[in-house]
Amino acid sequence: MDEIGFRHDGYLFLLDREEDVAAFRVALALQGSLGVPSRELTPAEAAELLPQLSLDGILAAAYCPSDGYATPEAVVQWYARESGATVLQGCAATAVDVRDGKIEAVETTGGRIATGTVICCAGVWSKEVADLAGIALPVEGEARSMWFTPQDGGLPERVPLTIDFSTGFYFHREGPGLAFGGRERALEEVAEAAARRLPVLADLPVQSTWWGWYDVSPDWNALVGEVEEPSRFLYATGFSGHGFQQAPAVGEHLAELVVGREPTLDLSAFSATRFARGAERPEAFVV
């Protein structure tokens, strides 16, 4: 676990609106029924976990001690190494050859690859990649930023991934310091909520920043499944900011579909056909 920077520090949502408390209670009940040890905390109990929080206006918190976080690029490297798969970098798919409803090959900038099966998992570029096979996948990009501090402001060793739900400000440990972000693109816009909820952050220098695309679907839930035609075109995209945590389960599911094994999990609710069927399920806990 050290290899992927895994920290078993929990997840903590801070709630300052009655309607959010009600929605989280429904989610906690569902999680509890499935054996997840998440629970509601009072503001005083949240302060015990992180004394540096300023909890003005907080009505309740949702906490799951068994959650954690890890370093995504280390996890990707681990899978690439351990799976034995061949990873071709800098090799873009430029066309999908389909004959009589069946995939025959993928044309790439590195040459033609004969295959009968394609998985479209191109993140925010999935719309264009699916279009190569004449398939419409509704994925749009939304830019999100993160910032990194070189010190931790004296926070306890165990810092849950903490989310101020109404503003979207969140933070967690990252190396010797902290990583934080929010729904806005500019530091100045995130800084106000950040300094209000975690005042020590206002005294820390920002060492670096990073931004990336959320690959957003129309209801902010992932698109996972297989199209009817052409045959053997699978997709896993539109993760809308949840892709890292959902990746292990979705990856196993796709592997089962590829080899024709009965899927362990029923992920049919994530099919991209849900929009045409009026069966979309708007994600309530978007950060």
Ligand X SMILES: Cc1cc2nc3c(=O)[nH]c(=O)nc-3n(C[C@H](O)[C@H](O)[C@H](O)COP(=O)(O)OP(=O)(O)OC[C@H]3O[C@@H](n4cnc5c(N)ncnc54)[C@H](O)[C@@H]3O)c2cc1C
The answer to whether the CB of 60 falls within 8 A of the CB of 16 is no
CA angle centred on 202, ends 198 and 203, rounded to 5°: 115
DSSP secondary structure string for all residues of 54-101: --TT--EEEEETT--B--HHHHHHHHHHHH-----TT--EEEEEEETT
Closer CB to ligand X, 196 or 242, in the complex: 242
Interface residue with ligand X among 160, 177, 181, 225 (CB under 6 A) is: 181
Q: Does 24 bind ligand X (CB under 6 A)?
A: no
The amino acid occupying position 53 is: L
CB of 242 to ligand X, least distance (A): 5
Total residues in contact with ligand X, by rule CB under 6 A:
21
Closer CB to ligand X, 53 or 124, in the complex: 124
Structure-token match 């959902």, residue found: 246
Radius of gyration of the chain (CA): 21
Q: How far is CA 63 from CA 50, 169, 194, 196, 259, in A?
A: 12, 16, 19, 20, 38
Interface residue with ligand X among 127, 144, 197, 253 (CB under 6 A) is: 144
Strand partners, 105: 97, 114
Nearest Cα neighbor of 151 from 169, 173, 130 is 173
Closer CB to ligand X, 44 or 85, in the complex: 85
Q: Segment contacting ligand X (CB under 6 A): 15-23, 110-118, 209-217, 271-279?
A: 209-217
Closer CB to ligand X, 116 or 212, in the complex: 212
Q: Segment contacting ligand X (CB under 6 A): 2-10, 59-67, 241-249, 271-279?
A: 241-249
CB of 77 to ligand X, least distance (A): 13
Q: Does 10 bind ligand X (CB under 6 A)?
A: no
Taking CB under 6 A as the rule, which mask of x and - marks residues 242-281 in contact with ligand X?
A: xxxx------------------------------------
Interface residue with ligand X among 177, 182, 225, 241 (CB under 6 A) is: 241
Phi, psi dihedral angles at 231 (to 5 degrees): -70, 150
Nearest Cα neighbor of 16 from 145, 197, 265, 159 is 197
Q: Which residue is nearest to ligand X (CB)?
A: 243
CB of 179 to ligand X, least distance (A): 9
Closer CB to ligand X, 22 or 112, in the complex: 112
How is residue 229 written in tokens?
A: 């035609």
Longest dimension (CA), the chain: 64
Taking CB under 6 A as the rule, which mask of x and - marks residues 81-100 in contact with ligand X?
A: -----------xx-------
Q: Determine the Cα–Cα distance for residues 187 and 274; give it in Å rounded to an integer.
A: 36
Q: Does 191 bind ligand X (CB under 6 A)?
A: no
Binding site for ligand X (CB under 6 A): 92-93, 121-125, 129, 144, 146, 181, 212-214, 237, 239, 241-245
